[in-house]
Structure 1
């Protein structure tokens, strides 16, 4: 039977968005989901509610696939896994690791659902690591008429499907490319002078499997540098000396200096499984302040990274009062139409704000104006102020994606006001 969710789930994780849907549903079987989709004039899939804007909302029904069977099918010969859409990365990682496989990367939070993360081009870090959506080899979904369809990489329109923004149907499973399982070690360094980036940004970010920079913008320095190396590769010289003058942390650290590190993954160079180190936060713990925060994130070309950060430094006095922490990561290019990394090796500049929308929005607009010369692409599921026509101009395949949406959903069953604003330009 279908269950109706508790009223508490009628808001997003951060609590800044209340869903306008008439109903929240969680089918227990594929047949039940198909009937629900076929019989609903308006419906959208809802993941783990980690969107900070109205992307996930629906004027009709919001449906979760978390109640469907959660079985992972691993094809060892092809190094692929068919994964339930509603499964969270924490559960998926353990299942594929037990079979000797891994994903190349993970996001900061293992708490998010696979389909939700891929639909919004959520990412990890590393100069050679693309976003999580780039691992998708096939998409299975319930289309507007209730039929189940599957489209694989190489088929017509596929490059518009992994980052779908929920506009094409209710995704039920994704087939993901896998790599052999591996171990990593993680260290945190502190107080790197900002000026080091001017000459050494590429060397710094490419010096390990994954490197993440943090700053509170309160001074001309990076508060922390998180460095993750594969344990099957020789330890870099970084462990034998201060790294670019940053000093090793003497104990576990949370990215926000005043927060306890109890929720963070293990540091201090202790080797561990890939899924126990690549995220910043452990799946069994709340990631930070249990949603008492807002997020914005902007992607710019990696070649512009230092200039973009210098532009932000010039407005840091406006940023500081509403900021908890800012993180900088690298993400490799992909060919997915609505990915912020489409065709471009990129840097993501992520802001964790205080939980005050009225105070944050003007500063987010200021950040976007400071970054404007670098044509930033915002994360689809976070707070931004860019005009729709400006945003569409930064995606070379946006018109092709809109056409794909009309082909799969001519009646707009999976649409909402967010898609109307930012995606569905006039045919």
Structure 2
């Protein structure tokens, strides 16, 4: 078993230093089972696109060497946990299949995205974890546990924050392939957004609003499945962009997916960024909060009041909608939500006082959070998820010795 993960020992942007005593890379499921059974403190490591210490443990293990097999079974596909969406999607498309949604960037692993409740966008679109129909994971005893949608623990095991075991592979629900086109609109007025929020977020299959919370919403990205109707050419008082734009105002758009209404395969339009280049700004820190859909305008207004403070460290904020689901630790469990995503400059010390004010301003709305993003105060934040208590019981049952419990989990779940 190799102990060189070929990574720098930090997360994506370098704001978290991992402190494992061992970096493990088992070459078979059986080897992974022996490793987990013999370990005292262990966690799976994904692509590192997290901004807190969720993955830290005495032993950090990657499943990258377990094999990258992709196995189609009718309208479902089995993928290895470490598989990146960038590698999976072209193969699915070639075989005539598609996924109903993707995250903003395709560089991330399937298992890591699912475990943290990562999402795309759309009024009728669930997060990426809702695509899972079965999964396998190595539990604390070293046993290989298979869970499908009929298993009583399934809904609690999909978004699992790494606390139930090391996931080895997942099965995803597919749809017949389709094309998507996207168009960007600029300078949407806040008055229009407030008065027509539902109409705007339903103007396409997927809608993202990018803003600095200043005078206008700088950009609105519409992504439309062309098997469900044409892409809009107008959006209230926002003119259509006549050139390709980066979501971070002022950056060159050389790493974004094609815009201007040009149709293309689903996987080349759902993400904001192409897999061949570094995503977003290349290095940034992220936070994300989810509020009930009916309180979205209230949350946005609270952020607009913080504009002078946000201006110090905010690169851009993205506002998106996600449909309700029944997964215990999903940010959208039991309710439609609106996500307020913050992309910060890579200045951890400067972010903290600003993010603290964001958390305080949103606190009356009891927002749920993205498990992999940065918070200033994350103590007991899991209690905002109604089924967190049931998850604690499930984790204790599958891991009675606390092998997958780390300081992050203890702090967040209490």
TM-score (norm 1): 0.95
1:171 to partner: Cα distance: 0.1
Question: What does 1:306-325 correspond to in 2, within 5 Å?
Answer: 306-325=297-316
- Do the aligned residues in 2 keep the contact of 1:44 with 1:56 (CA within 8 Å)? yes
Aligned pairs, number? 414
- Asked whether 1:365 is paired with 2:356, we answer yes
- Asked whether 1:226 is paired with 2:226, we answer no
SS at match of 1:325: strand
- Do the aligned residues in 1 keep the contact of 2:137 with 2:167 (CA within 8 Å)? yes
- Do the aligned residues in 2 keep the contact of 1:48 with 1:113 (CA within 8 Å)? yes
Task: Sort the Cα spacing of 1:163 and 1:69 in 2 relative to 1 into closer, same or farther, 3 A.
Answer: same
Q: C-alpha distance in 2, partners of 1:3/1:97?
A: 35
Q: C-alpha distance in 1, partners of 2:8/2:157?
A: 27
Query: Partner of 1:393 in structure 2?
Result: 383
Query: Partner of 2:92 in structure 1?
Result: 96
1:250 to partner: Cα distance: 1.3
- Do the aligned residues in 2 keep the contact of 1:190 with 1:225 (CA within 8 Å)? yes
Q: C-alpha distance in 1, partners of 2:155/2:280?
A: 34
Query: Partner of 2:4 in structure 1?
Result: 4
1:387 to partner: Cα distance: 4.6
- Asked whether 1:415 is paired with 2:405, we answer yes
Query: Partner of 1:30 in structure 2?
Result: 29
Q: C-alpha distance in 1, partners of 2:253/2:282?
A: 14
- Do the aligned residues in 1 keep the contact of 2:36 with 2:138 (CA within 8 Å)? yes
- Do the aligned residues in 2 keep the contact of 1:125 with 1:329 (CA within 8 Å)? yes
Task: Sort the Cα spacing of 1:280 and 1:387 in 2 relative to 1 into closer, same or farther, 3 A.
Answer: closer
Q: Give ranges in structure 1 of 5+ residues lacking alignment.
A: none
Query: Partner of 2:265 in structure 1?
Result: 273
Query: Partner of 2:105 in structure 1?
Result: 109
Query: Partner of 1:210 in structure 2?
Result: 206
1:288 to partner: Cα distance: 2.8
Question: What does 1:332-371 correspond to in 2, within 5 Å?
Answer: 332-371=323-362
Query: Partner of 1:73 in structure 2?
Result: 71
1:286 to partner: Cα distance: 0.7
1:3 to partner: Cα distance: 4.2
Deviation by residue 1:30-72 (Cα, 9 ceiling, x = unmatched): 22212221222111100000110011111x1100111111011
Q: C-alpha distance in 2, partners of 1:256/1:9?
A: 27
1:112 to partner: Cα distance: 0.3
- Which of 261, 277, 282 in structure 1 is aligned with 2:253? 261
TM-score (norm 2): 0.98
Question: What does 1:14-53 correspond to in 2, within 5 Å?
Answer: 14-53=13-52
Q: Which is further off, 20-29 or 338-347?
A: 20-29
SS at match of 1:362: helix
Q: Give ranges in structure 2 of 5+ residues lacking alignment.
A: none
Question: What does 1:270-309 correspond to in 2, within 5 Å?
Answer: 270-291=262-283, 293-309=284-300
SS at match of 1:285: coil
Q: C-alpha distance in 1, partners of 2:291/2:275?
A: 29
CA RMSD of aligned residues (A): 1.2
SS at match of 2:297: helix
1:23 to partner: Cα distance: 1.3
1:397 to partner: Cα distance: 0.8
Deviation by residue 1:310-363 (Cα, 9 ceiling, x = unmatched): 111111111111100000000001111111111110000000001111111111
Question: What does 1:125-164 correspond to in 2, within 5 Å?
Answer: 125-164=121-160
